[in-house]
Structure 1
């Protein structure tokens, strides 16, 4: 198969896409507007700002006073004193506080108030755990030294070592179960990659309808070009647009929002398979509809609905079990699970083999159906 006709068709389609200013806005600009606002709503990235934390503590209690001192010494936290536990809960509920800690005199079990779906809340929880852990370690070292009858010098050495080796502690939380998914920009970046790659692929399907309308496909077939070459050129055009959209979001979110995508091989495989699925869906829509205006009117709304079901617009836990189950009938849920799993430090391609297998099957089906429909309607004008 000669590459020249395929290359010419791909270049013609890409030039037409670049000239579409509205389409380029939704490909280049709109994803990052969404990432910023939705990411901030889900907690954003608290690494560069102090996290507001409210504390209810009686400083006459030595344990509470020690924990409060540790928190106030933490440069990542902005510690505020609160009058009651209800004030703390209200502040966390309204989003004015990243987290709150309620310490009652004589009670070694503290109450942590945190919004478990907030990135800033989970960051504050980590800082609080460290502070409480240091105090706990010092107390344990002091008790051990006294029980062993250590000299004052030995006791001081135990305490210094305990301060350096903070241990993890258990703090009862009133904010729900700890989430097993990233939050903030770490969540919205992969979510919007899937959402906009699919939505914009469906919108770009209008170009295929336009190619049929102006007779570009028929003229290509009338030339010494095989139908397979035309099909490959049209599919490759849409696949390259989907890949470009995905790469743009990955690169910009990495450097602008410091999003860690994880294992590059695993991410590349998942994104490539999803782009193939989006390509198949775009070609199917482009082959079925009869007017260029119909593709953007039908495709993007379908993509948004699938994005909702797949957790691309909000954490899937919010939607409930019935909608989550329905979501797994479509590729967004599987791709979202795979990308979030790959963002974990120890995850790799082997961690998402089930998701990859499902996405590969969906890609085969989507492209197979699209090719069959395209072959049947390739010579039709609109």
Structure 2
């Protein structure tokens, strides 16, 4: 059978699958709207746009050279955005409601030798970092020169640079998570073929095995690619996320979608019924995502959990995406992480293919 005919069959199956998804509004909701809503809600909970800077309110009742010097130092710090307040109660309310990450009250007659009142929200992910930054500026003023070094250490030996918070963290986290969710749920396709008996007729037809596997993979693959591209574009235009190196972004996303397709091939042989796929699939994906850092930064987990996270392909994908976004890494720097995601996908897909043919023939 000529290759062109095989490709026509595969592309025809892809067109039919795409048309079916476009007609299914509930499917479109799960693929596109739900991930964006989760990205927005969790992103705001983690600090919103504060990954780039912290909002700091300032009430200066001293108006001394020292208080003005402190304000100028905070303004010059690229991590802070300073807003002047004239009322202490309004400042406290802004911190309480989350509009400000911190509030500083400089008392009358302050000359740098007295304590300051600093309001911080205990629910803020950056509260400890804010406190360290303010202490740094005060120590510099007290010494009249270089500030004290106030190192920030994570129990798991994590990242000590720009805080990984807000939309810049939840955008890649939800991309990885929802592609895996789509992979687990898309195992329904294989289950439907088995239950309807169509799989046996396909195997009996004069088709090569790779053609059948391609037809099974093409439908979820195009859904995951569309989902990933949509989330990348939405995060860029609605949340201002800069995804970094284009080559690294494309290959990381290709690795993640390959992982999703591999999950389809394996879980289509593991789940016995469609009810299992829809009920258990999302929970398994969420569990893998939690282990891999899709719910919270791995910097905050105990060391043994950070080690255990290496067993989750999500952790390697997250390392690649976060390296691109926060560290401005090049492709060569994240290539080992991408290779690990592809390796996970290859192992999972191989296991699925080995189990697939005998099950489809039943």
TM-score category of the 2 structures, normalised to the smaller one: 0.7 to 0.9
In the alignment, which of 329, 333, 349 is matched to residue 331 of structure 2? Answer: 349
Distance 1:180 1:250, change over 3 A: same
What's the offset of the Cα at 1:313? 1.7
Alignment match, 2:111: 105
What's the offset of the Cα at 1:305? 0.6
What's the offset of the Cα at 1:307? 1.0
Alignment match, 2:199: 217
What's the offset of the Cα at 1:338? 0.9
In the alignment, which of 305, 317, 320 is matched to residue 338 of structure 1? Answer: 320
Q: Distance in 1 between matches of 2:75 and 2:216?
A: 61
What's the offset of the Cα at 1:91? 8.1
Deviates more, 1:1-10 or 1:37-46: 1-10
Q: Deviations over 1:276-325 (max 9, x none)?
A: 11111112111232322221112111000111111112222343333222
Alignment match, 2:62: 59
Distance 1:327 1:49, change over 3 A: closer
Unaligned runs of 5+ in 1: 141-168
Larger Rg: 1
Alignment match, 1:165: none
What's the offset of the Cα at 1:171? 6.8
> Over the residues paired in the alignment, what is the CA RMSD in angstroms?
4.2
Distance 1:205 1:92, change over 3 A: same
In the alignment, which of 243, 250, 270 is matched to residue 252 of structure 2? Answer: 270
8 Å Cα contact 2:265/2:356 also seen in 1: yes
Q: Helix, strand or coil: the match of 1:10?
A: helix
Q: Distance in 1 between matches of 2:51 and 2:338?
A: 32
Q: Helix, strand or coil: the match of 1:45?
A: helix
Unaligned runs of 5+ in 2: 155-159
Q: Deviations over 1:136-162 (max 9, x none)?
A: 7xx88xxxxxxxxxxxxxxxxxxxxxx
Q: Distance in 1 between matches of 2:100 and 2:257?
A: 40
Alignment match, 2:235: 253
Deviates more, 1:266-275 or 1:188-197: 266-275
In the alignment, which of 36, 45, 51 is matched to residue 49 of structure 2? Answer: 45
In the alignment, which of 9, 15, 28 is matched to residue 24 of structure 1? Answer: 28
Q: Distance in 2 between matches of 1:225 and 1:214?
A: 19
In the alignment, which of 36, 40, 58 is matched to residue 40 of structure 2? Answer: 36
8 Å Cα contact 2:310/2:316 also seen in 1: yes
In the alignment, which of 192, 208, 217 is matched to residue 190 of structure 2? Answer: 208
Distance 1:18 1:324, change over 3 A: farther
Q: Distance in 2 between matches of 1:184 and 1:248?
A: 19
Alignment match, 2:224: 242
Q: Helix, strand or coil: the match of 1:287?
A: helix
Alignment match, 2:341: 359
TM-score (norm 1): 0.75
Q: Helix, strand or coil: the match of 2:47?
A: coil
8 Å Cα contact 1:51/1:120 also seen in 2: no
TM-score (norm 2): 0.79
Q: Distance in 1 between matches of 2:95 and 2:147?
A: 20
**1:77 has 2:82 as partner:** yes
Distance 1:176 1:345, change over 3 A: closer
In the alignment, which of 374, 378, 381 is matched to residue 356 of structure 2? Answer: 374
Q: How many residues align?
A: 345
Alignment match, 1:289: 271
8 Å Cα contact 1:328/1:334 also seen in 2: yes
Alignment of 1:83-122 (within 5 A): 95=98, 97-101=100-104, 105-107=111-113
